[in-house]
């Protein structure tokens, strides 16, 4: 649940980004593309701006976000993200 993400006292920004990414993937599977998009975009920004830039995780989340963009017919955005992943 997204309520978990509001516990900023126990979650670092890195942890929150990772959790948001996981939830974004889950919402994608559930078909809630708006929630998936929002969470994935936020997660990518947090992880890219963290001290421990986990490039594998960012690439994976970009792939998921590209799938969301493709599903909502934002094909140009999907293509840009997929090129970044490669």
> Cα separations (Å) of 17 from 12, 38, 61, 70?
9, 12, 10, 22
Task: Print the SS3 string covering 9-74.
Answer: CCCCHHHHHHHHHHHHHHHHHHCCHHHHHHHHHHHHHHHHCCCCCCHHHHHHHHHHHHHHHHHCCC
pLDDT(16) > 90: no
**60-72 residue pLDDT tens:** 999 999 999 999 9
**For residue 29, pLDDT beyond 90:** yes
User: pTM of this prediction?
Assistant: 0.84
pLDDT of residue 8: 60
Neighbours of 16 (CB within 10 A): 21
Check residue 39 and give its pLDDT. Answer: 95
């Amino acid at each position: 649940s997204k309520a978990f993400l509001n516990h900023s006292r126990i979650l670092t920004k890195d942890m929150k980004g990772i959790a948001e990414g996981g939830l974004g993937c889950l919402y994608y599977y559930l078909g809630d593309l708006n929630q998936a998009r929002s969470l994935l975009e936020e997660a990518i920004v947090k992880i890219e701006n963290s001290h421990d830039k986990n490039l594998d995780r960012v690439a994976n989340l970009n792939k998921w976000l590209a799938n969301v963009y493709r599903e909502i017919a934002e094909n140009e955005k999907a293509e840009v993200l997929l090129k970044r992943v490669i």
